[in-house]
Amino acid sequence: MDAPPRIAPERPERPARPDRPERPERPEADPDRPSDDRKRDRRKPERKTP
């Protein structure tokens, strides 16, 4: 009887995967976001220029 309840929690986990990148909790996993690119670009030139 553990099989039926196991399939239930697995179903909602699949659609939650696409929600992960939308979440602001993992900004590093969102390289498509311009906010992360701007922050990375600003830090890169700052370190390169002593």
* Per-residue pLDDT, 4: 54
Q: Please give the Cα distance from 26 to 23 (Å, whole number).
A: 6
- Residue 30: CB atoms within 10 Å: 16
**Average pLDDT across the chain, whole number:** 55
For residue range 13-30, what is the model confidence (pLDDT) as tens digits? 555 555 555 555 555 555
| Amino acid present at 35 | S
Q: How is residue 42 written in tokens?
A: 């600003």
* Per-residue pLDDT, 50: 57
Q: Please give the Cα distance from 36 to 28 (Å, whole number).
A: 7
> Sorting pLDDT into bands at 50, 70 and 90, what band is 46?
low
Determine what percent of the chain is predicted with pLDDT higher than 70.
Answer: 0
Q: How is residue 30 written in tokens?
A: 């969102």
